[in-house]
Amino acid sequence: MKKGLLLLVVAVLAGMTAFCVMRWHKGGAQQQGGIALDAMAELEWLRTELHLTDEQFAKVRDLHADYRPKCVEMCNRISEAQAKTRVLAVANRVITPEYQAALQNYADVRVECQKAMLNHLYETAATLKEDQATRFLEAMLPIALDFSHIDSGDLHAR
């Protein structure tokens, strides 16, 4: 059982990595009609690991496609808030009102993103059988609740 869960976690991370790689290379693919993104390669691990039926996979794929633009928007908002906070962190030796507002905005955007992601995960889990949903959430909730995968950058690099 632990080996299967470990395999699922590795597959989730691989799927997220594939999604991030495709997101970073979005310029060319999206300008060509999104052909690379429409392949949904980041979901294949889910189909295989949870043994989804074609009908289940179609529902998951549709939910993922609907959520993807919101995810990209939220990632961009987090990056912008983080960049502004980083600039103010380096520029100030005290927490000014502007710096405090930037910190609060960064926290607020991250919470908004987490809530959206959690809602998406729960909505996806609702399309699965109970055992599939449990395994899916066991793998995905720790990732959704931990932002350590977001590049915090080096404050001294800017």
Closest CA to 57 of 126, 128, 2, 115: 128
**pTM of the predicted model as reported, rounded to 2 decimal places:** 0.67
Per-residue pLDDT of the chain (158 residues; tens, 9 = 90+): 555 443 444 344 444 444 443 444 344 334 333 333 445 777 898 999 999 999 999 999 999 999 999 999 999 999 999 999 999 999 999 999 999 999 999 999 999 999 999 999 999 999 999 999 999 999 999 989 885 655 544 333 33
Mean pLDDT, the chain, integer: 78
Phi and psi angles of residue 150, each rounded to the nearest 5 degrees, phi first: -80, 135
Q: Does domain 2-157 have CATH number 1.20.120.1490?
A: yes
